[in-house]
A and B are shown apart, each in its own frame.
Chain A
Amino acid sequence: MSDNRTPERLAVAKTYKLYIGGSFPRSESGRVYPVHDRQGAFLANAAHASRKDVRDAVAAARKAFGGWSGATAYNRGQVLFRIAEVMEGRREQFAAEISAAEGLSRKQSRSTVDDAVDRMVWYAGWTDKISMVLGAANPVAGPYFSFSVPEPTGVVGVLAPPDSSLLGLISVVAPVITAGNTCVVVASADRPLPAVTFAEVLATSDVPDGVVNVLTGRAAELAPWLAAHADVNALDPTGAPEELRAELAKTAADTVKRVLPVRGEPDWTREPDLQRLRAFTEVKTVWHPVGT
């Protein structure tokens, strides 16, 4: 009875959207752009975020900053670990999307997902250790108790790496939120689908709304607004085109933004160090007299 030309079941195609303040809106601009796999086949239309979306996302990140930075390190660690748990459950979905985006075999993609999950677990364990490792009780020459603690810088604009669609994304987002910052992330333009799935993971992982906001679109178009925005405290330009980075750093100078120094795209398979945690951290020193 069946017709050979009709598949047994037509897949439900997904409409990919942005992730801002815990919601999944379409781009305010109404724009989308087509995403293709490595062979050039159409995968989906992704939302093409605009300057206004950047501003909405920054506002959401700022609103979330007080709660997230004020949460206990133990609590933030649990939330980060929860992200890893939910990612683990979506292993096959991530692997399929990575295979399509990066042209990897399913086995290689699974291994990449595993690395990404493990990295999130690694950072989850850092939340309550940053202060111990980067802070100090300062032995000042006088009757004062002086101590220094690292604190989050604030709202961080993150341009996710263009090539590594999931492992690279996790490697730039995790240290930012581990340190207690909130962020606006611009996903890889050509490979945005794992980032949208990651946003769905965040939405179901106890991550407070607005802590991570994910935009899909063109880094070259959105980055200058992030670099110029007075309510963005730091910028990770990893995913910006090489020729744009110096321009972004110049723009960032108007508000004395911290700009992570990067060259090319790092090797994400290497074990991370503390550089990204330190880069989005301020050291605060507190003094008080000692006496009776």
Chain B
Amino acid sequence: MIDSPWEYAPAPESREIANLKPSYRMFVDGKFVDGGGEPLKSINPATEEPLAEVSSASESDVDEAVRAARRAFDDTWSTMPGKERAKYLFRIARLIQERGRQLAVLESLDNGKPIKESRDADIPTAAAHFFHHAGWADKLGYAGYGPDPRPLGVAGQVIPWNFPLLMLAWKIAPALACGNTVVLKPAETTPLTALVFAEICQQAGLPPGVVNILPGAGDIGAALVAHPGVDKVAFTGSTEVGKQIQRSVAGSGKKLTLELGGKAANIVFDDAPLDQAVEGIVNGIFFNQGHVCCAGSRLLVQESIADELLEKLRVRVQTLRVGDPLDKNTDVGAINSAEQLAKITELAASGDAEGAQRWTSPCPLPEKGFFFSPTVFSDVQQSMRIAREEIFGPVLSVLTFRTPAEAIAKANNTPYGLSAGIWTEKGSRILWAAQRLRAGVVWANTFNRFDPTAPFGGYQESGFGREGGRAGLEAYLDV
């Protein structure tokens, strides 16, 4: 830590609020049931202590859940008037808001993310997604896909561990609004909020089978997307797994959307307001420990201001408090798993080996748990692994450029294309750069903004399809 007169007393959120149970069961056809798979042990990544035991699905459970979803689709959900579906979704949105504090604490326990982020970003945005899509359920004829667009059927959905409840909301809200039923597999390491969401479905009186939650590992995800009873597959996760899913779905006639990895360029021009840019850079790469597919992991700085900006950046990054996710003062929480920590460590080591300059924040780290100090690599070349591969951790790679055209060329020099950032005071340059960046989301003088009305999704190997807004409905309609 830098010498600071400001000493923060710990301000921990109470873990009692999470109502943590010793065991959780999977949710099929409106009931909590024991799965046929080997139970999962969900651990707290900040302490490495077990949190709860979670029953996991076997392949026959996948079959059971898909059948339940099919029955619910045929018998109730697809035939129900949109205005009735809407009211269920509004109920769910309100129930998430009512139980927001419980969900936030549980999310931070299970995922390791700081409570201020789960409390202020994840959970409210999840509720907002249900609220927004509720209003679509009875207005689909106005969405631009013809007067009477039809649902697809049963959606098989697989989501990652970085935003467990938020990704669930991104997947389930539009699916239900459009009249589909769902079988969702949460990530192996973060299943807990999804199972509390199942309780919320019960509280909302949602008809049995409309939502089914199957905890499990990758094999259950693979079985789900390959199941012949599934009409639509939606996946958020790594590009590597996305490619496997695209292969497995090929030729089946299932509709597919993929939200995959990224290696976003965050471009700072010489006229940018530097203090503001520094905040945006920090938010871009250290938000959620960098476990963000659209993280601004490649900083492109105009050469003339690079030294000044890097100096400011290091000073700012030193003030980030790494530690207990439940402490309200924590900025950077725990890495989600030992496996992920090993991956980050390995990629960072490749940066050293390939000749980049590593700078690590001198912040103290907790003794237990999975933590990684905020790290900034400078003198990074485009060919280095840390400039090409998604690290998915609090590691920033800094490159420089001289002209705007060079900035665009370097930014687009990647097979990914999920997001990008632009920092400049010049409006015409923002619009010029935004047009040329091959990325699905472009943040100008801001970063990491999300809203259910704003479509999100990638170009190229960052996947296809959009989530949010009118464009996002296409994924769940037969158009």
Contacts and interface: CB of A to CB of B under 8 A. Distances in A.
A256 B471 contact: no
A193 to B, nearest CB: 32
A256 B258 contact: yes
Interface stretch (B1-9, B338-346, B391-399, B453-461): B453-461
Contact of A256 (B144, B246, B451, B453): B246
A256 B242 CA distance: 8
* Nearest 3 interchain pairs by C-beta: A246-B251, A249-B250, A253-B246
B439 interface: yes
B444 interface: yes
Nearest to A255: B461
A258 interface: yes
A268 to B, nearest CB: 19
10 contacts: A140-B453, A141-B453, A144-B446, A146-B449, A148-B471, A246-B252, A253-B243, A256-B258, A256-B464, A283-B471
Interface in B453-476: 453-457, 459-464, 466, 469-471, 474
Nearest to A254: B243
A289 interface: yes
Interface in B384-424: 415
A140 B246 contact: no
A146 B451 contact: yes
Interface in A172-212: none
Contacts of B144: 133-134
A252 B247 CA distance: 8
Contact of B444 (A134, A250, A256, A288): A288
A286 B469 contact: no
Interface of B: 128, 144, 146, 239, 242-244, 246-247, 250-253, 255, 258, 260, 415, 430, 434-435, 439-446, 449, 451, 453-457, 459-464, 466, 469-471, 474, 479
B460 A233 contact: yes
A287 B466 CA distance: 16
A144 B471 contact: no
Given A140-B451, A256-B460, A288 B250 contact: no
A261 interface: yes
A15 interface: no
A272 to B, nearest CB: 13
Contacts, number: 116
A142 B453 contact: no
Contacts of B439: 284
Contacts of B463: 256
A136 B443 contact: no
B479 A138 contact: no
Contacts of B445: 288-289
Contacts of B479: 275
A142 B451 contact: yes
A68 to B, nearest CB: 14
Q: Which applies to chain A's interface (DSSP): helix, strand, loop or mixed? A: mixed
Interface residues of A, number: 41
Given A254-B243, A256-B260, A256-B460, A138 B469 contact: yes
Nearest to A284: B440
Interface string A145-170: 01010000110000000000000000
B111 to A, nearest CB: 24
Contact of B443 (A253, A259, A287): A287
A106 interface: no
Report which residue of B430, B444, B456, B460 has the largest number of chain A beta carbons within 10 angstroms of its beta carbon: B460
A259 B246 CA distance: 10
B454 A148 contact: yes
Nearest to A150: B471
Contacts of B251: 245-247, 249-250
A36 interface: no
B297 to A, nearest CB: 18
A138 B239 contact: no
A288 B440 contact: no
A282 interface: yes
B247 A287 contact: no
A233 B460 CA distance: 7
Report which residue of A146, A247, A261 has the largest number of chain B beta carbons within 10 angstroms of its beta carbon: A146
B443 A252 contact: no
Nearest to B250: A249
A141 B128 contact: yes
Contact of A285 (B415, B455, B462, B464): B455
B451 A138 contact: yes
A242 B355 CA distance: 51
A278 interface: yes
Contact of B454 (A70, A138, A261): A138
A249 B243 CA distance: 11
Nearest to A140: B451
Contacts of A289: 445-446
A140 B449 contact: yes
B446 A284 contact: no
Nearest to B145: A274
A258 to B, nearest CB: 5
A287 B453 contact: no
A46 B346 CA distance: 55
A154 B457 CA distance: 16
A249 B233 CA distance: 15
